[in-house]
A = this chain, B = another copy of it.
């Protein structure tokens, strides 16, 4: 059944720090000082990569039960290529977002290593954040409210 997931972001006065609230939880994003921030949190693009690795990890532990895999540990190194010239408008031919994301997955699990590796690929195919990123998602701006 379709669910609606929500978050709200609010600028913290001064610098570039942004506060995200989702239910009772908070995520602080910021930029390094050489990008005009005060370096008090990970950047939004780092948080995006973290959401991908976290989603794969949680998916792995939930899906291990379905596949009768005894999963003991799961970790992911994630890296993505981004060229700020796209965002800044310095080069209109450069993509504004990530051009590629790469994963390195480490698992500790009982069982035949080839079956465990197949399980990791199954997890990758099921991960909600991975599916959103690899397939893309329509983003609709419902309202823009301007105050002075």
Using CB atoms and an 8 Å cutoff, list the residues of chain A in contact with chain B. Answer: 1-11, 16, 18, 20, 22-23, 25, 27, 29, 31, 35-37, 41-59, 61-62, 66, 73-89, 95-110, 113, 116-117, 120-121, 124-148
Contacts and interface: CB of A to CB of B under 8 A. Distances in A.
Contacts of A76: 8-9
Nearest to A134: B139
A108 B53 CA distance: 35
Contacts of A82: 2-5, 128
16 contacts: A8-B53, A9-B57, A16-B61, A18-B54, A18-B58, A20-B51, A31-B58, A44-B51, A44-B52, A44-B55, A48-B48, A100-B138, A102-B142, A104-B145, A108-B146, A124-B141
